[in-house]
Amino acid sequence: AAGVIQSPRHLIKEKRETATLKCYPIPRHDTVYWYQQGPGQDPQFLISFYEKMQSDKGSIPDRFSAQQFSDYHSELNMSSLELGDSALYFCASSSQTSGWASTDTQYFGPGTRLTVL
Amino acid sequence: AQSVTQLGSHVSVSEGALVLLRCNYSSSVPPYLFWYVQYPNQGLQLLLKYTSAATLVKGINGFEAEFKKSETSFHLTKPSAHMSDAAEYFCAVSMFSGGYNKLIFGAGTRLAVHP
């Protein structure tokens, strides 16, 4: 079965540079979530999109932005990178099959490991 | 607001022994709870989820979890540990916000399995 695809898998950037992370959800999934997992930390919710509209926002820095495109893939844009942005960035997708979105299972991609030097 | 607490950041068991990973939740509404596993350098894989259909939930790889409202717990168990079970395990609660959900994770429990 097709899974969530993230690219690149690894990314090394210098401070103050920009980075773009891409996420391709499972086919027919209409919701995308981004999470950040720092070293030894649990994943923290950043932002989510449903049908190309931002649906929720978490602890995402103003230097970061994201969008979901017409083909449902999503991109996380990160500018003015800081050392503290080094983390594993996960994308997850789900399908809003029920009226209560809380029951929809989120399927995670393998993550993009960002290292800021 | 919903939250989860995982008791024990590290758990070590012998191969063949019972695995018990503890998770307690806090929620003002009926919670939806999940267990995910993360193998080294890999993404998060769903083990099982509770969505109020049944209190005992069976997942993949022989794992199961029981939702106990009176104890606000959702502990993960496996009768017999296998070396391949060594990984990080995260308990998560689905936080319903404005019609959409996001996952709130616990701090994780690293399971070590020794011969």
pLDDT over threshold 70, residue A77: yes
* Mean pLDDT value of segment A6-17: 96
CA-CA distance, B86 to A25, in Å (whole number)? 28
* Mean pLDDT value of segment A35-60: 90
* Mean pLDDT value of segment A2-26: 95
Burial of B90 (0-12, 13-18, 19+ CB in 10 A): buried
% of chain A residues with pLDDT over 90: 71
| Per-residue confidence (pLDDT) for residue B99, from 0 to 100 | 59
| Per-residue confidence (pLDDT) for residue A32, from 0 to 100 | 93
How far does CA A113 lie from the centroid of its chain? 12
> Which has the higher per-residue pLDDT, A59 or A19?
A19
* Mean pLDDT value of segment B33-38: 94
Asked if A45 is an interface residue toward chain B (Cβ–Cβ < 8 A), one would say: yes
| Per-residue confidence (pLDDT) for residue B98, from 0 to 100 | 59
Asked if A35 is an interface residue toward chain B (Cβ–Cβ < 8 A), one would say: yes
Q: Which of residues 6-25 of A touch B (CB under 8 A)?
A: none
How far does CA A104 lie from the centroid of its chain? 17
Shortest distance, CA A7 to any CA of chain B (angstroms)? 13
How far does CA B71 lie from the centroid of its chain? 15
| Per-residue confidence (pLDDT) for residue A81, from 0 to 100 | 97
C-alpha distances out from residue B111 to A56, A107, B38, B85, B93, Å = 32, 22, 11, 7, 20
Q: What is the mean pLDDT of chain A?
A: 90
Q: Specify whether the CB–CB gap between B103 and A58 falls below 8 A.
A: no
Q: What is the mean pLDDT of chain B?
A: 90
Q: What angle do CA A113, B1, B3 make, to 5 degrees?
A: 50
Compute the Cα dihedral for B19, A107, B43, A14 and give only its sign: negative
Of A42, A45, A110, the CB nearest to B108: A42
Compute the Cα dihedral for B101, A4, A74, A18 and give only its sign: positive
Taking contacts as CB-CB distances below 8 angstroms, the residues of chain A near B105 are 42-44
Q: Do B101 and A107 touch (CB under 8 A)?
A: no
Of A35, A43, A102, the CB nearest to B94: A102
> Which has the higher per-residue pLDDT, B84 or A98?
B84
Q: Which of residues 73-112 of B touch A (CB under 8 A)?
A: 90, 94-108
Of B96, B7, B87, the C-alpha closest to B39 is B87
